[in-house]
Each structure stands twice: as structure tokens, then as C-alpha cells.
Amino acid sequence: MHSRPTDNQDWPPEKIAAARTIQRLMEFWQIKPSELASRRAPEAAPPAVPAPARPRYRHPVSGETWDGQGSQPPWLRQALLKEGYLVEELRVADDEPAADAAPRADAANAAGPAAEASSLG
């Protein structure tokens, strides 16, 4: 025979009340403890994948982006050191569309300072 929830004097009152409620529900629905023991616990949901960080820098010609986390990508180093861009020119404005949006038309047609310098020649 199963012990009653009130038999265990070590339990706090809240736990005793919860056990009584469970026992009443089991009696009402005619659920046996053995039926509960055979049930598997529901599997936990997989952890949520964090959303990719919003890009902070974008190359105006190639459209490549960097979120500012980790090492600087090669395209950024090249744009700054060899193509003559300034950090401010590559920084993405707060109101600019996210990385998955299409690049702006004016950015796609821009040749950049390096092209201007090479044409001066």
C-alpha cells in the first residue's frame, strides 16, 4: 500500500498540499503509479541558436560584411591598408538594412578611393 502525502512529516506544507492534489487527480482519473513510471519524460527542446550579429562594417564595392567580433577579416584589412578606405567609410549606419537585405544601389556602383587614385596615375 502506498503511503499518504501526510505521512511524511519532513515535507514542507506546500509539498504536502501538492502531493494531496496529485493524489486526488490520480484517484479521479484512475491513474495508477505504475502507469506514470512507464511514461518517458518529454525531451527538452534544443537550445535556441543565437541570431547572427548585425554587421558593423561593409565594403561598398564587394558588399562583404563583418560584425566586429573576432579577428578582422582579410577584406577589411585590405580595404583599410591597400584600398585607402577609412573606418568611417566602411562603418554600417544604424538605419541601414540588415546583412541579409540587398546591398544599396549607390554602394554597388561606388568605385572607392583606390579606383580614383589609380585613375589619376
Under the banding of pLDDT at 50, 70 and 90, the label for residue 46 is confident
Q: Give exposure, 14-52, as e/b (b: 16+ Cβ within 10 Å).
A: eebeebeeeeeeeeeeeeeeeeeeeeeeeeeeeeeeeee
Q: In this structure, are residues 68 and 53 in contact, taking their beta carbons and an 8 Å threshold?
A: yes
How many of the other CB atoms lie within 10 Å of CB of 94? 7
Residues in the chain: 121
Q: How far apart are CA 117 and CA 38, in angstroms?
A: 76
For 98-119, the pLDDT digits (tens) are 545 444 444 444 445 554 444 4
Query: Span 84-110, mean pLDDT?
Result: 66
Query: Span 72-79, mean pLDDT?
Result: 94
| Whether pLDDT at 76 is above 70 | yes
Q: What is the pTM of this model?
A: 0.41
Q: What is the pLDDT of residue 39?
A: 66
Residue of 58, 65, 32 whose CA lies nearest to 112: 58
